[in-house]
Amino acid sequence: MADVARARRLAKRIAQIVASAMEREVKDPRLARVTITDAKVTADLRDATLYYTVIGESVDAPPDVASAAAALESAKGVLRSLVGQQTGIRFTPTLTFVADTVPEAAKSMDELLARAREADAEVARIASGATFAGEADPYKSTDMDDEEEDLHDAEEDAADENSSAAEDAVDSERPADSASTPRDAADSER
pLDDT tens, residue order, the chain (190 aa): 568 888 899 999 999 999 999 888 888 888 888 889 999 999 888 999 999 988 877 666 677 788 888 989 989 999 999 999 998 888 999 999 998 888 788 889 999 999 999 999 999 998 888 877 777 777 766 665 556 666 667 777 777 776 666 566 556 665 555 555 555 555 555 5
What was the pLDDT predicted at 83?
92
Assign domain 4-104 to its CATH superfamily: K homology (KH) domain (3.30.300.20)
- DSSP bridge partners of 97: 50
| Element of type H or E holding 96 | strand 94-99
Nearest CA to 72 out of 133, 22, 114 is that of 22
What was the pLDDT predicted at 97?
93
Between vectors from CA 95 to CA 57 and to CA 25, what angle results, nearest 5°?
A: 55
